[in-house]
Amino acid sequence: MRKYLIWTIGCQMNVADSTHVGAELEKLNIQPTDQLHEADIVVLNTCVVRQSAEDKAVGKLGSLKPWRRQDPHRTLALMGCMVGVKPSSKLRQAFPWVDVFMEPSEAQPLVDHLRNRMIESELADIERRQLAQRYQWQDADTPTASIKHLSLAGEPPVAAYVPIVYGCSHACTYCIIPFRRGIERSRPLPEIVNEVRGLVAQGVREITLLGQIVDRYGYDWEGHANLVDLLHEVHGIEGLYRIRFLTSHPNYMTDELLEAIAHLPKIMPHIEVPIQAGDDEVLAQMKRGYTADDYRRLVARIRQVIPDVAIHTDIIVGFPGETETQFQATYDILEELRLEKAHLARYSPRPGTVSARRMIDDVPDEEKRRRHQLLEAQHERISAAYNLRWQDQCVEVLVEDRHKGKWRGRTPQNRLVFFEDARDLRGQLVDVRITWTGPWSMQGVAVDQEPALVAPPLAFTLTS
């Protein structure tokens, strides 16, 4: 039995791509492993959004060279943003021990490569049968027709990612995504709905719909359904408990979308909408297309329509030319808005982007680190205060897995909750009373397991 191992670096889109590749390999009867020495096929799914992620991928590729050279029957595939929409000859020359280069979201080059090899081997018959079966599935109009995702551990995950828009056409000046993932392309609605049905049939209970600007779903096809239409369709799928979507862009969050989140109970009150910076000049340099006040108004609108919402944001510190005063504006708006979560990054120029070509990376690393640390400390304080609001409250948790002897799950607002319970609760919605809170997680006890309140004994005073 042949085995595969996938390493994934980067965002949820990469995680979704990796599960898709895993599922394609499993259709060829290749099983997952987490041990390199057991693997016949290794896929490295890369991210180059930041220099540190790219360095990590290059380091990993170097460490895989001896593994690949040890056995000519092994296959090493490089996937994702490092490859981009077309692998460059420079990349092929730099890593000649890589067998297959796969652009983001594209499993086919690896499948083709393995098929070509298998044709020459005794496995050809098995593979032919499996491929035939696979095409039958694809033709059949059944929920399993387009199951693309399986857990890399071989069992269905409780929560899965489903890409709905590939690429991005926005071109923020610092961002490499449009160069590496191509222009915006929405997937057909029936294909997505069918895929979600397939996932639910496997046991998935929560899905997160993914796009670089997820609210632009359908914009690239005139007359096509939009994100609200898709949410309504997916909402009707029986057995699916929760729906999330990310990442939003402040310019595309319509009232219609907010109303849908407020009124469709399976859509979680959790919105990921990056601000990136709190200063208008920096935002203009980034070509984000909104001002800090626009963002303030958006947050007020979201909170008005969805009262229990958690708003998550992204921030870049140390963008070219960012002054202390401009950084302070970012700090101040986060203090003012008290967003429930902030993903923080230090700016690093990505080759080919507008900011790398036309702007000077003039904020010293030391200063970037200092600004990052200030925001980290602020975020920890705000996050701790937010979680404290849930102390002694009852929250609904979708249980995902076990971690260090406890069940781990998430609230509708995507807060992590741990609790002990001897029952098998994986994939179930459990009401949990919060007994402890910290900045990054909470702990509690299942409400139906709480010790019953025992009335205190009545005090009698004996009088003579």
For ligand SF4, which is the closer residue by CB, 171 or 394?
Answer: 171
- 183 counts as binding ligand SF4 under rule CB under 6 A: no
Cα–Cα distance list, 135 to 102, 116, 144, 271 (Å): 22, 18, 12, 37
Q: In this structure, are residues 72 and 37 in contact, taking their beta carbons and an 8 Å threshold?
A: no
Indicate whether 171 belongs to the interface with ligand SF4 (CB under 6 A).
Answer: yes
Binding-site size for ligand SF4 (CB under 6 A) equals 10
Nearest-approach distance from CB 379 to ligand SF4, in angstroms: 20
Q: Is residue 197 within 8 Å of 141, Cβ to Cβ?
A: no
Residue 209 tokens, joined: 């719909």
Q: Could you say which of 143, 163, 178, 218 contacts ligand SF4 (CB under 6 A)? A: 178
Binding mask 244-283 for ligand SF4 (x = CB under 6 A): -----x----------------------------------
Q: Does 170 bind ligand SF4 (CB under 6 A)?
A: yes
Nearer to ligand SF4, 11 or 159 (CB): 11
Binding residues for ligand SF4 restricted to 409-428, rule: CB under 6 A: none
Site string for ligand SF4, 139-168 (x = CB under 6 A): -----------------------------x
- The nearer residue to ligand SF4, 147 or 168, going by C-beta atoms, is 168
Task: Decide: is 193 part of the binding site for ligand SF4 (CB under 6 A).
Answer: no
Do residues 185 and 407 make contact, with C-beta atoms less than 8 angstroms apart? no
CB 237 within 8 A of CB 190: no
Does the footprint of ligand SF4 cover residue 80 (CB under 6 A)? no
In whole angstroms, the minimum distance from the beta carbon of 214 to ligand SF4 comes to 10
Contact between residue 429 and residue 395 where contact means Cβ atoms under 8 Å apart: no
216 binds ligand SF4 (CB under 6 A): no
**Looking at beta carbons only, is 242 or 288 nearer to ligand SF4?**
288
Nearer to ligand SF4, 251 or 328 (CB): 251
Choose between 343 and 423: whose C-beta lies nearer to ligand SF4: 343
- Asked if residue 53 binds ligand SF4 (CB under 6 A), the reply is no
When the beta carbons of 177 and 277 are compared against ligand SF4, the nearer one is: 177
* Pairwise CA distance, residues 195 & 149, whole Å: 8
Nearest to residue 414, comparing CAs of 202, 206, 252? Answer: 206
Strands 3-8 and 41-46: parallel
Q: Of the two residues 8 and 353, which places its CB atom closer to ligand SF4 in the complex?
A: 353
List all residues 6 or more positions away from 412 whose beta carbon is below 8 Å from its beta carbon: 242, 268, 269, 270, 308, 395, 396
């670089």: which residue's tokens? 212
Among 213, 214, 329, 342, binds ligand SF4 (CB under 6 A): 213
With respect to ligand SF4, which residue has the nearer C-beta, 31 or 169?
A: 169
Query: Of the candidates 6, 53, 172, 299, which one interacts with ligand SF4 according to CB under 6 A?
Result: 172
When asked if residue 177 is in the footprint of ligand SF4 (CB under 6 A), the reply is yes
197 or 249: CB nearest ligand SF4 = 249
Q: Which of 42, 98, 175, 253 binds ligand SF4 (CB under 6 A)?
A: 175
Which range, of 54-62, 172-180, 237-245, 302-310, touches ligand SF4 by CB under 6 A? 172-180
Rounded to an integer, what distance in angstroms lies between the CA atom of residue 218 and that of residue 58?
35
Residues near ligand SF4 (CB under 6 A): 168, 170-172, 175, 177-178, 212-213, 249
